């Protein structure tokens, strides 16, 4: 009998009417569970002994609650397209207000939870209204958040001839979904709630395969086409009207001796100028600078600066001539 079946027929609790075989199965299941529990306890305590940092690990923001926050904020930012509001124009503001009240209340709770997590490392106690103030400041950024998302959606519409409408892009395109999450998360990261921000960015990563650290700085009219496998690191700086394709990496090099300086640790990722295009599979590592209007071809590996207006490309694939009687594999 499987562990699941043993649990269904009585688990670890004795039942007087059970047969001897059922009693034996439950005993085996109990023994297996007890052994796993003890092993997990040992490993858990070893980890805590190594990583004891005075943090309240019971205080950690909830992914499910923050997913709800993003959904509410999306409805407030785009009441008709993402909030599914179907009322009259004069009722729209009341709909937005209701979404914001619910979103900001939940966000304040999760922000307070994060401050509880960091309290053990703080020199003093956080102010009682710290979470409230953060959320109030965040609310003031929502107009700019909406403007930046609009610019990203318009860039996608202009850059993708397959797009039929801006509404299709906002609702369907992975790049637009990632942009919405990033623009929200970036503001929260700036306001001092990095875990809340990181969870929001990872919600987008789960949905789209696009990994944008909320600490990255990205200008307006940012277009990620397709998007799967895109990675943008924490200290990356991206200018305006930049377009990139799937599997582009703006990453950091391994920390060498020089990078253990303050600058090396906090300026690890590329700087990309305005109007740059990065084609699929390009990998750019370290604090290199890509000049304005440069084009980086597919599968290029870059560790050095690129001048403005430059084009960097891999050699084109070589065409092998056909040869009578020779199998294709033998020509490779």
**Which CATH superfamily does the domain covering 229-316 fall into?**
Hexapeptide repeat proteins (2.160.10.10)
Bridge partner residues of 212 (DSSP): 232
At residue 194, does pLDDT exceed 50? yes
Q: Which CATH class is domain 59-210?
A: mainly alpha
Name the pTM for this structure. 0.84
Residue labelled with tokens 């305006």: 240
At residue 13, does pLDDT exceed 50? no
At residue 2, does pLDDT exceed 70? no
What mean pLDDT comes out for the span 20-43? 84
Q: What value does the mean pLDDT of the chain take? A: 89
Least trusted range by pLDDT, from 111-125, 146-160, 271-285 = 111-125
Between 300 and 121, whose confidence is greater? Answer: 300
Q: Give one DSSP letter per residue of 167-178, joined into a string.
A: HHHHHH-HHHHH
| pLDDT tens digits, one per residue of 97-106 | 999 999 999 9
Between 7 and 36, whose confidence is greater? Answer: 36
285 in Cβ contact with 252 (< 8 Å): yes
Find the helix packing angle between 63-77 and 142-159, rounded to 10°.
80
Q: Name the token pair of 209.
A: 């395969």
* 3-class state of residue 262 by DSSP: helix
At residue 131, does pLDDT exceed 70? yes
pLDDT at 61: 94
Neighbours of 222 (CB within 10 A): 26
CA 159 from chain centre, in angstroms, equals 23
Do the domains 229-316 and 59-210 match in fold? no
Domain assignments of the chain as residue spans, ordered by start = 3-51, 59-210, 229-316
Q: Name the token pair of 212.
A: 């944008």
pLDDT at 321: 77
Q: Name the token pair of 313.
A: 């490309």
| pLDDT tens digits, one per residue of 303-324 | 999 999 999 999 988 887 776 6
Say what percent of the chain tops pLDDT 90: 72
| pLDDT tens digits, one per residue of 60-97 | 899 999 999 999 999 999 999 999 999 999 999 999 99
């Amino acid at each position: 009998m499987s562990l699941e079946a043993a649990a269904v027929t009585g688990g670890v609790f004795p039942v007087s009417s059970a047969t001897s075989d059922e009693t034996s199965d439950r005993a085996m299941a109990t023994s297996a569970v007890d052994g796993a529990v003890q092993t997990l306890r040992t490993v858990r305590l070893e980890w805590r002994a190594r990583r004891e940092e005075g943090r309240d690990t019971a205080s950690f923001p909830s992914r499910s609650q923050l997913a709800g926050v993003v959904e509410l904020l999306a409805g407030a930012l785009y009441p008709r397209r993402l909030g599914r509001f179907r009322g009259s124009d004069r009722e729209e503001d009341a709909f937005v207000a209701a979404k914001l009240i619910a979103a900001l209340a939940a966000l304040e709770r999760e922000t307070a939870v994060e401050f509880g997590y960091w309290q053990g490392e703080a020199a003093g106690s956080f102010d009682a209204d710290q979470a409230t103030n953060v959320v109030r400041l965040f609310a003031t950024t929502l107009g700019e958040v909406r403007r930046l998302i609009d610019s990203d959606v318009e860039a996608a519409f202009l850059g993708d001839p397959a797009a039929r409408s801006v509404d299709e892009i906002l609702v369907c395109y992975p790049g637009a979904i990632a942009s919405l999450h990033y623009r929200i998360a970036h503001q929260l990261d700036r306001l001092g709630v990095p875990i809340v921000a990181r969870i929001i960015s990872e919600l987008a990563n789960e949905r789209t395969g696009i990994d944008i650290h909320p600490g990255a700085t990205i200008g307006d009219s940012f277009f990620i086409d397709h998007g799967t496998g895109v990675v943008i690191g924490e200290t990356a700086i991206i200018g305006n009207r930049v377009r990139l394709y799937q599997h582009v990496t703006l990453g950091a090099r391994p920390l060498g001796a020089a990078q253990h300086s303050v600058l090396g640790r906090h300026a690890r990722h590329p700087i990309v100028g305005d109007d740059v295009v990065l084609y699929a599979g390009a990998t750019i590592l370290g604090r290199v600078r890509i000049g304005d209007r440069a084009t980086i071809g597919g599968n290029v590996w870059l560790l050095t600066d690129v001048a403005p207006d430059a084009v960097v490309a891999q050699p084109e694939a070589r065409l092998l001539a056909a040869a009578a009687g020779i199998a294709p594999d033998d020509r490779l």
